[in-house]
Amino acid sequence: MKTIIIGYGNPDRQDDGVAWHVMCALAQRLGLNAPTNIDDEFQSGSDINFIFQLQLTPELAEDISNYPLACFVDAHTGAIPQEVNAEVIDAHFQKSPFTHHMTPQTLLSMCQSLYQKAPKALLVSIRGYRFGFSDDLSEQTRELVPQAAGNILEWIQRN
């Protein structure tokens, strides 16, 4: 089924950029060429497209509305007990005290409001341990990348 994978985070802040690494691992599992650096584009498959950004923006609503499946990939801190957390999410507008912060649920809500449709969606978050100024993942987070990519692939195959 036609799917969009949206990873977000800051690749210059260590584990905050884990989504890019998960997307690369997923692309390789799908037999696609993964980019070798953050400035390169992901190769899209016939049914799967990839977008990586620093943060979610309202402009993504139009792109997302064209897909029956959307998977969001991000880092999380220790506030979530699972090291790799995968949860099905629905459209739900969430106010944020931060003007630059948008949740996947709010983005889905925008799809619903603007285009009268929203895809089935999954949010996969990966535990980050280090958020310093570096483009290398911590060893603990790097070890979680294959599991996160596997969770996404299983969800796509089930749907």
Lowest mean pLDDT, pick from 101-105, 142-146, 151-155: 101-105
- Decide if 122 contacts 138 (C-beta within 8 A): no
120-127 and 84-89 strand pairing = antiparallel
Taking the C-alpha atoms of residue 69 and residue 83, their distance in angstroms, rounded to an integer, is 23
Lowest mean pLDDT, pick from 22-31, 44-53, 91-100, 135-144: 91-100
**pLDDT at 52 > cutoff 90:** yes
* pLDDT tens column, 118-140: 999 999 999 999 999 999 999 99
pLDDT of res. 100: 52
**pLDDT at 48 > cutoff 60:** yes
- Decide if 124 contacts 148 (C-beta within 8 A): yes
As a whole-number percent, the residues of the chain with pLDDT over 90 amount to 79
- Segment 88-111 shows an average pLDDT of 79
Taking the C-alpha atoms of residue 84 and residue 81, their distance in angstroms, rounded to an integer, is 9
In one letter, which amino acid is 135? D
Domains of the chain: 3-158 (3.40.50.1450)
pLDDT of res. 95: 62
Taking the C-alpha atoms of residue 109 and residue 44, their distance in angstroms, rounded to an integer, is 26
Compute φ and ψ for 96, nearest 5 degrees.
-130, 135
How many Cβ atoms sit within 10 Å of the Cβ of residue 15? 27
Structure-token match 């889905």, residue found: 108
Which band of pLDDT confidence, cut at 50, 70 and 90, is reported for residue 51?
Answer: very high
Which band of pLDDT confidence, cut at 50, 70 and 90, is reported for residue 60?
Answer: very high
* pLDDT tens column, 76-96: 988 889 999 999 998 877 665
Query: Please, which residues have CB within 8 angstroms of residue 66's CB and are 6 or more apart in sequence?
Result: 4
Taking the C-alpha atoms of residue 159 and residue 155, their distance in angstroms, rounded to an integer, is 6
pLDDT of res. 94: 63
